[in-house]
Amino acid sequence: MTLKTILSVGAAALALGSLSSAPAQTPGKVDFETQVLPIFKERCFDCHQKEHTDPKTGKVKKPKGKLRMDNPELMLKGGSEGGDLTPGDAAKSTIYTSITLPETDELAMPPEGKGDRLTKEQQDLIKQWINEGANFGAWKGAEK
Ligand code: HEC
């Protein structure tokens, strides 16, 4: 083996190594359905989906703040109190800013006492997804 071969083999091994140890979030775009939707489903849908009857209590549940997050068009349309999603600008999107507020803030989501804060990783994932254009991919969500 010449020195040159050794060097290039080494470089290839290094490149492979860095690929397999790549962090979960970056590089590359965030995928809505596999990365963001599961968080919304688990942490937001309970209060922000189409009006439905709660199977446990038998009570009719309306979407809070008139914000529905179970349909892409309705999420973009936003809610009654200025809740919104601005593709490309997470800082202007209350769907993101509300999750970064401390629990005691009245605009914090989920609301005080209604569950843990989202983790920093989840917050960053949502931020990245919005800043990349809030692309929903093939997701159609629930009917309007
Ligand atoms: C336990 C119920 C509950 C959960 C869970 C919840 N919300 Fe809310 N959300 C509310 C209520 C109630 C309001 C209406 C404003 C208020 O009273 O604070 C609201 C309002 C909002 C608004 C403002 C909408 C508008 O225009 O009025 C946004 C944005 C929002 N929520 C985002 C989220 C996100 C993102 C999640 C998930 C991380 C989430 N919410 C989870 C109850 C909830």
State the CATH number of the domain containing residue 103.
1.10.760
pLDDT tens per residue, range 15-69: 555 554 444 545 679 999 999 999 999 999 999 999 999 899 999 999 999 999 9
pLDDT given for residue 80 in this prediction: 83
What domain count does the chain have?
1
pLDDT given for residue 81 in this prediction: 72
User: Atom of ligand 1 at shortest distance to CA of 82?
Assistant: 26
Residues 6+ apart with CB under 8 A from 44: 69, 109, 110
In a domain, 144, yes or no: no
Range of the domain at 122: 26-131
In a domain, 79, yes or no: yes
User: Atom of ligand 1 at shortest distance to CA of 79?
Assistant: 26
In a domain, 58, yes or no: yes
Token readout for 64 is 């809070």
* pTM for the full predicted model: 0.83
In a domain, 138, yes or no: no
Cβ < 6 A, ligand 1 pocket: 43-44, 46-48, 64-65, 67, 78-83, 94-95, 98-99, 109-111, 114, 118
pLDDT tens per residue, range 100-144: 999 999 999 999 999 999 999 999 999 999 999 999 999 999 999
